[in-house]
Amino acid sequence: MKVLPIVWQRLVTADGETCERCGNTYLEMVHAVEILRQELHPLGIEPVLRTKTISENEFKAHPEESNRIWIGNKALEEWLDAKAGESQCCAACGDANCRTLQLDAVEYEAIPQQLILKAALKAAAMLL
């Protein structure tokens, strides 16, 4: 079985909290990976999700690294021909702007399942 690595990282505070957009992205990610498991299994591909945390100090130095997704060792925005953006978030993020995804004229704060699936299917096609 070929492995399709999916890595998602986000800020986790000392209190174990994360921002709402990261929490929502996580829920979308879990649903997407379940669909990918069902759809890719007949093709001999196993999606493997790994989550990473960013400390508050790491986030302060590089806020653009939070809520970031890689699929098959390539950033999600590369698969989608999208761009990373930023916007004000919530208390967990402090004064720093949190990562967004800009695709066409739409800015996504939480990454929706359909975009994760689209990128993952492109990556899976490269494994065939």
pLDDT reported for residue 109: 92
pLDDT average per 10 residues of sequence, the chain (128 residues): 96 84 93 98 97 89 91 96 86 75 94 98 95
Identify the pLDDT of residue 16. 83
Return the amino acid letter for 82. A
Q: Residue 33 — left, alpha, or beta (φ > 0 → left; ψ -120 to 50 → alpha)? A: alpha
Structure confidence at residue 56 (pLDDT): 85
Rounded to an integer, what is the distance from CA 101 to the centroid of its chain?
10
pTM surpassing 0.85?
Answer: yes
- The per-residue pLDDT for 38 is 97
Q: What local confidence, expressed as pLDDT, does residue 72 receive?
A: 95
What pLDDT is stored for residue 92 in this prediction? 66
> CA 97: distance to chain centroid?
17
Angle at alpha carbon of residue 20, lines to 6 and 83, rounded to 5°: 55
Spatial separation of the C-alpha atoms in residues 126 and 51, rounded to whole Å: 23
Name the nearest CA neighbour of 19 among 31, 10, 8: 10
How far does CA 3 lie from the centroid of its chain? 18
